[in-house]
Amino acid sequence: MFETLTEKLEGIFKKLKGRGSLNEENVGSALKEIRLALLEADVNFKVVKEFIEDVRARAVGRDVLDSITPGQQVVKIVHDRLVALLGGVNTQIRFGKRQPSSIMLVGLQGSGKTTTAVKLANHLIKQKKRVYLAPADVYRPAAEKQLRILGEQVGAGIFEAENLRDPVMICVEAVKEAGKNGYDTVIIDTAGRLHINEEMMEELKKIKDVIDPSEILLVVDAMTGQDAVNMAGKFNELLGIDGVIMTKMDGDARGGAALSLKAVIGKPIKFIGVGEKIEALDVFHPERMASRILGMGDVLSIVEKAQAAVDEKTARELEKKIRKNEFTLDDFQQQLTQIRKMGSLKDIIGMIPGLGKIKAAKNISPDDGELVKITAIIDSMTKKERLNYQIVDGRRRKRIAMGSGTKVQDVNRLLKNFVEMRKMWKKMTKKGGMSLMKGKFPF
């Protein structure tokens, strides 16, 4: 996400920071390029205009132009204004005093409401909430079945609609049932349409009136750009929403909708969908996102992902094995599994400060398929081979390659890299470099 915009802004700021001094003309030229980059990223025209004027007013003052590092000062101003544009601070879900609290998900058909309902349930369950799902979409075939199958995977309760066909009654009964069974949160998956119409809005208003939800969250597809912003404005006008969940952010290299939404409709983005997996729903942090847009990385998010993927006991056991030089291919495969839980390699690299620039400079394209290939190779080994890589001779390598659908060269490369990694990690333990493990990093 924001890949195209990030590359352009990094180029603009590199030129700015390369100058020993700046004047109003230099700043004005850079702002023209930033303006064009934002417009090409599909940011709302009025938002871009106000943003550029705001940055200009702050960047051409004597305190900035006469400073020792004027380029860095301008970058900081742009960063601060991006944070403000994205909403300033992350906005948490509000849970009402009434138990159970109800969260209503609304949006057009195809925006990903049902999948998002389960992702949100998974997120809240990890925060020790007891979540109940209400299938209020009676129009889309198999919507209830999809919600049930996915909901069971994350341990959420699911209301049995049975013969009920009235969405309002389903919601009323679901909240009653949730209360009887000790659930504290109900997530309502409402029906969408191909476009906003009076019938849909009337149905949603009725549900809102009888349920009195603590939150109404609009689910929008980031890849629809400014259409998503316009649609959000319409929903807010006709129904009233508390925030937005933006899906498919991982597939949107421009990001204009995310940069425009708060400024245009005054409602915050609360979560972003960053993949198809159940875990691929992130809390939206404006400051972290602004840093990523400017190529500064996002260390806090990667630490949180690592902490969620790896438990401390496993990390300490791994450190002991490395210190004793007992790290095996079984252990290596376990680490790869934990890395994959954190998200795509591309996203992880984008969160590490400076690594994104190295990747671009060397034209490196991280491929999650490589992790799948490595896992397949290790799976094709016997238990003895995984515990003692040294017995994997030429004959065994051919068998492993055939069993994993790879080439002997792939097996050779894996074993070579594994040996080098063992040596490197052994040196790190002697120098005290394994402190990263205490931060629960699985690599």
Q: Which two tokens stand for residue 342?
A: 């954190």
Of residues 363 and 120, more confidence is placed in 120
pLDDT tops 60 at residue 355:
no
Q: How far is CA 83 from CA 77, 171, 259, 289, 305, in A?
A: 10, 37, 10, 8, 22
pLDDT at 443: 37
User: What does the angle CA 311 – CA 121 – CA 213 come to, to the nearest 5 degrees?
Assistant: 140
What is the reported pLDDT for 437?
A: 40
Closest CA to 264 of 238, 234, 308: 234
Distance CA 134, CA 350 (A): 36
Mean pLDDT to the nearest integer, 222-230: 88
Q: Which CATH number, 1.20.120.140, 1.10.3720.10, 2.60.40.10, 3.40.50.620, labels domain 3-85?
A: 1.20.120.140
For tokens 């210190």, the residue is 323
What the block records as the tokens of 57 is 């007013």
Strand extents, DSSP E, 98-184: 101-106, 131-136, 157-158
Task: Kindly tell me if the per-residue pLDDT of 22 is higher than 90.
Answer: no
User: May I ask the CATH architecture of the domain 101-296?
Assistant: 3-Layer(aba) Sandwich (3.40)
Nearest-angstrom CA–CA distance, 255 and 390: 49
> What is the per-residue pLDDT for 440?
39
Answer yes or no: same fold for 3-85 and 300-438.
Answer: no
Per-residue pLDDT tens for 127-178?
Answer: 999 999 999 998 887 889 999 999 999 999 999 987 788 999 999 999 999 9
Residue 406 token pair: 């790879």
Q: HSE, CB side, 13 Å, CA atoms: give it for residue 17.
A: 10
The residue count of the chain comes to 443
Token pair 């603590």 is found at: 214
CB 429 within 8 A of CB 326: no
Predicted TM-score (pTM) of this structure: 0.72
Q: 253 pLDDT band (50/70/90 cuts)?
A: low
Question: Which residues, listed in sequence order, are joined to residue 219 by a DSSP beta bridge?
Answer: 245
Query: Of the CATH numbers 1.10.10.10, 3.30.413.10, 1.10.260.30, 3.30.1360.10, which one belongs to the domain with range 300-438?
Result: 1.10.260.30
Give dist(CA 240, CA 201) in Å, integer: 11
What's the mean per-residue pLDDT of the chain? 83
Q: What sign results for the dihedral spanned by CA atoms 21, 24, 25, 30?
A: positive
- What are the pLDDT digits (tens) for 169-209? 999 999 999 999 999 999 999 998 778 888 889 999 999 99
**Band of residue 315 on the pLDDT scale cut at 50, 70, 90:** low
3-state secondary structure (DSSP) of residue 272: strand
Residues 6+ apart with CB under 8 A from 105: 113, 116, 117, 120, 187, 188, 189, 190, 217, 219, 245
Which has more pLDDT, 388 or 364?
388
DSSP 420-433: HHHHHHHHHHHTTT
d(CA 246, CA 236): 15
From 41, 76, 4, select the one nearest 360 (Cα to Cα).
4
Straight-line distance from the first to the last Cα atom of the chain, in angstroms, rounded to the nearest whole number: 24
Domain ranges of the chain: 3-85, 101-296, 300-438
